[in-house]
Amino acid sequence: MDTPAPVPADCPCGSARPYAHCCGRWHAGATRLQAPTAEALMRSRYAAFVLGLRDYLLDTWHPSTRPATLEPSEPGLRWLGLDVKRHEQQDADHATVEFVARSKLGGRAHRLHERSRFVREHGRWYYVDGDIR
C-alpha cells in the first residue's frame, strides 16, 4: 500500500489544472483507473511517479508486461516536468503517447524520452510498454 503523499495544488502532469480536477481524480475514488484517453492515463502515471503512487502505477500497467513489484524511487529524485509531444490513436483500443519527462538526481539532470504504447480493455486504458528515444 502506498503512503499518501502531500496533495499538490497544481497537478504534477503539467496541465496547469488543479490536481483534484486533473490526475487526482484518476488516482483515487470511484473513477480510479478510468482515464478516458491514453494521454490522460500517461499524464496520470507521470503524476503517480512524482507522488510515489506505486500501487496506481502497477494497477494501470497491462498484466502482460507488468512487473511483480516496483521499487521506491531513488532517494533525492526530483521530477521536474512533463512535455507530451504526441498522442496518436491507432484505433478505438490502441494508442501511443510520445513524451519527455525531466528529472534531477544527485545534482544531475536527466531526460526520459519515450514513445509509450497503450491498450484499452473492457473500457480501461493500460500502459503496455515503451521505446526509449
pTM: 0.91
More confidently predicted of 88 and 33: 88
Residue 100 included in any domain = yes
Residue 42 included in any domain = yes
What is the rounded average pLDDT for all residues in the chain?
Answer: 92
Residue 14 included in any domain = no
Rg of the chain over all Cα atoms, to the nearest angstrom: 14
Residue 10 included in any domain = no
Strand intervals (E) in the chain: 78-91, 94-105, 108-121, 124-132
Domain that holds residue 109: 19-132
Q: Could you tell me if 86 and 104 are in contact, meaning their C-beta atoms sit under 8 angstroms apart?
A: no
Identify the pLDDT of residue 34: 84
Residue 13 included in any domain = no
Identify the pLDDT of residue 32: 65
4 confidence band (pLDDT: 50, 70, 90): low
Amino acid at 120: R
If one counts every other C-beta atom within 10 angstroms of the C-beta of residue 107, the result is 6
Residue 1 has pLDDT above 60, yes or no: no
List pLDDT tens digits, range 74-88: 999 999 999 999 999
Residue 6 included in any domain = no
More confidently predicted of 94 and 25: 94
Amino acid at 122: H
Instruction: Look at 14-18, 26-30, 31-35, 46-50 and tell me which has the smallest mean pLDDT.
Output: 31-35
6 confidence band (pLDDT: 50, 70, 90): low
Residue 86 included in any domain = yes
The CATH number of residue 27's host domain is 3.10.450.50
**pLDDT-above-70 percentage for the chain:** 91
Into how many domains does the chain fold?
Answer: 1
Cell readout for 75 is 532517494
Residue 11 included in any domain = no
Which 3 state secondary structure label does DSSP give 37? coil
